[in-house]
């Protein structure tokens, strides 16, 4: 049936241009697809002070400033959408920074996929990761990450599936079903994979490639030796060599002080990918 609801999650017009462009490209690929953008405003936490009246005054000033700055960006996003997709819906939400990921997750539940811009170095990178984390682990929907500078006209024609035979990788592949219908080439990539009963089986990648082939997809397997590189670097290098326009990967997390944090491979690929990245958990 294909995706019918694409949600782009943004907070800055210029920084989030890749996500907006990717969301528009997705909406064009599917007939009668609804495109929406959720503009999120991070509010500052309440300052610490001994005098309540001081706290109230300072916080009110900080809240006012944050809302004014956000309104400037919101108007830019609205103007950007009107230029190319006047039918796109623009939603707004605000929350304390620590709660913004959960707010994003709520909005993502009412779409088929949530599109966001890849975090990059500099101010706001941790907040962007928290928003992506919130969507990935709390929405029940896939997260599609646009790398900085993305300007493609379509996505999903040359797909790399980062496969480790895990539940998360299987879930991500399932969430990619609607994108794979556009695929001209699908490469199942394993990194340093070894045959084993619980996992890859006798031939790493062969079983899932066979499953995809039976669904009519042009799937092949590429078992890659990391040669000392990290798993994420190996996957990205392979995707670039194949001129892939999409990487499909499971999202991992572990509990630490009641907070979900990305596993090493997920975080590294998330921060460095130059190819749109579809993740699910």
Strand, coil or helix: what is 188? strand
Give yes or no for residue 161 having a pLDDT over 70.
yes
Indicate whether 274 belongs to any domain: yes
Give the total number of structural domains in the chain: 2
Residue-wise pLDDT tens digits, 39-59? 999 998 877 655 566 566 787
Indicate whether 175 belongs to any domain: yes
Residue-wise pLDDT tens digits, 131-146? 999 999 999 999 999 9
CA distance 239 to 230: 14
Domain boundary among 113, 146, 179: 146
245: region left, alpha or beta (phi > 0 left; psi from -120 to 50 alpha)? alpha
Cα–Cα nearest to 28, from 165, 208, 152: 152
Residue range of the domain that includes 258: 158-280
Residues in the chain: 281
Domain boundary among 124, 146, 168: 146
Q: Tell me: do 124 and 70 sit in the same domain.
A: yes
Percent over 90 (pLDDT), the chain: 70
Residue 69 neighbours by CB under 8 Å, 6+ apart: none
Residue-wise pLDDT tens digits, 187-212? 999 999 988 877 788 899 999 999 99
Pairing mode, if any, of strands 143-146 and 158-162?
unpaired
Give yes or no for residue 20 having a pLDDT over 60.
yes
Q: Tell me: do 91 and 48 sit in the same domain.
A: yes
Q: How confident is the model at residue 251 (pLDDT cuts 50, 70, 90)?
A: confident
Q: Tell me: do 117 and 187 sit in the same domain.
A: no
Q: Tell me: do 172 and 211 sit in the same domain.
A: yes
Q: How confident is the model at residue 152 (pLDDT cuts 50, 70, 90)?
A: confident
Q: Tell me: do 178 and 246 sit in the same domain.
A: yes
Q: Tell me: do 183 and 241 sit in the same domain.
A: yes
Q: Tell me: do 199 and 274 sit in the same domain.
A: yes
Give yes or no for residue 223 having a pLDDT over 50.
yes
**Six token digits for residue 197:** 């009963």
Look at residue 199 in the predicted model and tell me its pLDDT. Answer: 79
Helix (H) / strand (E) containing 192: none
Q: Tell me: do 205 and 268 sit in the same domain.
A: yes
Indicate whether 151 belongs to any domain: no
Indicate whether 152 belongs to any domain: no
What's the CATH number where 242 sits? 3.40.50.620
CA angle 181, 249, 256 (to 5 degrees): 150
Mean pLDDT of the chain: 89
Indicate whether 64 belongs to any domain: yes
Give yes or no for residue 169 having a pLDDT over 60.
yes
CA distance 121 to 101: 19
| pTM listed for this prediction | 0.91
CA distance 167 to 138: 17
Q: Tell me: do 176 and 137 sit in the same domain.
A: no
Q: How confident is the model at residue 159 (pLDDT cuts 50, 70, 90)?
A: very high
Strand, coil or helix: what is 7? strand
């Amino acid at each position: 049936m294909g995706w019918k609801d694409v949600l782009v999650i943004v907070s800055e017009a210029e920084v989030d241009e890749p996500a907006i462009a990717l969301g528009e490209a997705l909406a064009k690929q599917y007939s009668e697809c609804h495109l929406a953008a959720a503009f999120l405003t991070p509010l500052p936490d309440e300052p610490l002070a001994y005098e309540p009246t001081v706290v109230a005054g300072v916080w009110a000033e900080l809240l006012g400033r944050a809302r004014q700055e956000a309104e400037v960006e919101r108007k830019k996003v609205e103007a950007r959408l009107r230029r190319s997709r006047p039918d796109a819906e623009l939603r707004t939400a605000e929350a304390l920074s620590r709660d913004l990921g959960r707010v994003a997750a709520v909005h993502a539940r009412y779409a088929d996929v949530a599109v966001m811009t890849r975090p990059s170095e500099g101010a706001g990178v941790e907040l962007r990761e928290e928003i992506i984390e919130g969507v990935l682990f709390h929405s029940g929907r896939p997260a599609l990450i646009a790398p900085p500078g993305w300007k493609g006209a379509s996505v999903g024609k040359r797909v790399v599936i980062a496969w480790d035979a895990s539940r998360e990788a299987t879930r991500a592949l399932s969430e990619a079903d609607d994108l794979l219908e556009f695929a001209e080439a699908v490469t199942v990539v394993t990194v340093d994979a070894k045959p084993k009963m619980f996992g890859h089986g006798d031939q790493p990648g062969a079983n899932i490639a066979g499953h995809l082939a039976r669904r009519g997809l042009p799937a092949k397997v590429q078992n890659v030796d990391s040669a000392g590189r990290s798993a994420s670097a190996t996957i990205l290098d392979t995707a670039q060599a194949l001129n892939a326009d999409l990487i499909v990967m499971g999202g991992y997390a572990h509990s630490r002080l009641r907070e979900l944090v990305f596993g090493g491979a997920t975080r590294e690929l998330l921060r460095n990918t130059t190819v749109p990245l579809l993740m699910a958990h």
